[in-house]
């Protein structure tokens, strides 16, 4: 059962943390997408995926490169709704004062990085993209996988050229173009079925 990590390139999400929880798509620069990716990546019914990790890589605003890492094996206070997940993200952004790695709440770390540095942490990087090869027939490594995907916007050509230096393959999940959070749900399901027989994750919180 490979550890599953998801790196989401958030193009518009702002890094000043001043967004309004009542208007996540607008004031938050589509922070709603980031929140849904966190939930899809880490939560199942009455449990947390202990073997999963989300990396939100924020591009815009005063602190481009701000990165939030949420680890399934340690996260607390994560619920399935968008608003409370966005509040957890906002808390991380607001607490970070530009210095090193801060743990803003249990299992939520915030730091600054760049795309290449983040990709170098991935032992087996796969890029989820419409023009990839079908993921459902793919033979995945069994130790650790880092899936990279965009948010509501595709990667830029520059971003893609960095990613392709590290990606072992581009993987396609559907004949349709899907939301990022739905891609995460589908790739989890492929791996859950492929590596079934695993223990059920423990209860959360």
| Residues at the site binding a second copy, with contacts judged by CB under 8 A | 21-22, 24-25, 32-33, 36, 40, 43-47, 79-84, 134, 136-137, 152, 173-179, 182, 185-186, 189-190, 192-201, 204-205
Listed residue (182, 19, 152, 22) closest to 89, CA to CA: 19
The residue among 47 and 65 lying less far from a second copy, judged by its C-beta, is: 47
Smallest gap from residue 17 Cβ to a second copy (A): 19
Smallest gap from residue 80 Cβ to a second copy (A): 6
The residue among 157 and 176 lying less far from a second copy, judged by its C-beta, is: 176
Smallest gap from residue 162 Cβ to a second copy (A): 23
Smallest gap from residue 91 Cβ to a second copy (A): 17
Phi and psi, residue 69, nearest 5°: -110, 125
The residue among 99 and 200 lying less far from a second copy, judged by its C-beta, is: 200
Q: Which whole-number Å values give the CA distances from 145 to 89, 170, 185, in the listed order?
A: 23, 13, 15
**Per DSSP, which regions of 60-184 are E strands?**
66-71, 102-105, 108-112, 125-134, 144-150, 167-172
CB of 67 closer than 8 Å to CB of 111:
yes
**Per DSSP, which regions of the chain are E strands?**
3-10, 43-44, 47-48, 52-58, 66-71, 102-105, 108-112, 125-134, 144-150, 167-172
Smallest gap from residue 131 Cβ to a second copy (A): 13
| Spatial separation of the C-alpha atoms in residues 41 and 127, rounded to whole Å | 16
Smallest gap from residue 112 Cβ to a second copy (A): 27
Listed residue (37, 17, 151) closest to 87, CA to CA: 17
CB of 90 closer than 8 Å to CB of 17:
yes
The residue among 43 and 119 lying less far from a second copy, judged by its C-beta, is: 43
The residue among 44 and 102 lying less far from a second copy, judged by its C-beta, is: 44
The residue among 84 and 121 lying less far from a second copy, judged by its C-beta, is: 84
């Amino acid at each position: 059962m490979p550890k599953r990590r998801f790196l989401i390139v958030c193009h518009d999400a702002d890094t000043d943390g001043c967004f309004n929880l009542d208007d996540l798509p607008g004031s938050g620069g589509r922070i709603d997408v980031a929140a849904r990716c966190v939930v899809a990546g880490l939560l199942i019914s009455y449990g947390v995926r202990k073997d999963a990790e989300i990396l939100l890589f924020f591009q815009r605003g005063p602190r481009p490169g701000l990165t939030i890492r949420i680890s399934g094996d340690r996260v607390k206070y994560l619920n399935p709704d968008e608003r409370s997940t966005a509040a957890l993200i906002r808390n991380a952004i607001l607490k970070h004062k530009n210095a090193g790695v801060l743990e803003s709440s249990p299992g939520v770390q915030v730091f600054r990085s760049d795309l290449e540095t983040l990709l170098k942490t991935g032992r087996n990087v796969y890029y989820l993209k419409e023009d990839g090869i079908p993921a459902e027939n793919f033979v995945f490594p069994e130790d650790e996988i880092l899936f990279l995907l965009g948010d509501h916007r595709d990667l830029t050509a520059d971003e893609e050229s960095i990613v392709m230096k590290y990606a072992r393959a581009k993987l396609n999940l559907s004949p349709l173009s899907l939301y990022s959070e739905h891609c995460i749900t589908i790739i989890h399901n492929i791996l859950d079925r492929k590596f079934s027989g695993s223990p059920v994750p423990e209860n959360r919180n």
